[in-house]
Structure formats: C-alpha cells, structure tokens
Amino acid sequence: MTDNVRVNREVMGRLMVKAGLADTKVAGIELVDKFFAVLRQEVLAGNEVAIPDFGKFSTYTRINGTKKPKFTPFSGFKADMNA
C-alpha cells in the first residue's frame, strides 16, 4: 500500500514536466493555473465542463437559492478508484 501524497500546484507543475507537457516547473504551474482558471470561469458562467474519462463540473442551485459547484465522476473513473 502506498502513502497518500498531497499534490499541490507545485507538484502538478513538476508532473506536467515529467509528462512532457511543459519544459520547466514554472511553465507547468502556469499551465495548471490557466487550466483551472478556464474551468472556474466556465463553471461560474453556468456551463457544464465534461472531461472524458474523468468527470464533469457543473453548478446546481440549492433549495435556498444559493449556487454550488458540483463534480460528477464518470463511471470509468469511479471503477478505476475501486480497482
């Protein structure tokens, strides 16, 4: 069994370099920041953002009228969690 590690934006930046998606950790962090800025902007605008093999981000309105973000994992991702 492996220990769980907290993956923050700096670690994600390094993972982007390791995956060949960025040349430097700083560029990887910028990529992560830009991705989440766009994701946030779209969800705040009321749009649903679906990422294949992962899940979808959306908003829902509670009974009291307040809006909340919602993440719904896709079935393949849920199955992988329990594999």
What sign does the CA torsion over 22, 26, 32, 38 have?
A: negative
Domain 47-83 belongs to what topology?
Answer: HU Protein; Chain A (4.10.520)
Q: Which residues contact 28 (CB under 8 A, 6 or more apart)?
A: 12, 13, 14, 15, 16, 17, 21, 22
| pLDDT 10s digits, 23-46 | 999 999 999 999 999 999 999 999
Give residue limits of the domains in the chain: 1-45, 47-83
pLDDT band at residue 5 under the 50/70/90 scheme: confident
- How is residue 71 written in tokens? 């993440």
- Three-state secondary structure call for residue 24: coil
pLDDT band at residue 2 under the 50/70/90 scheme: low
pTM: 0.83
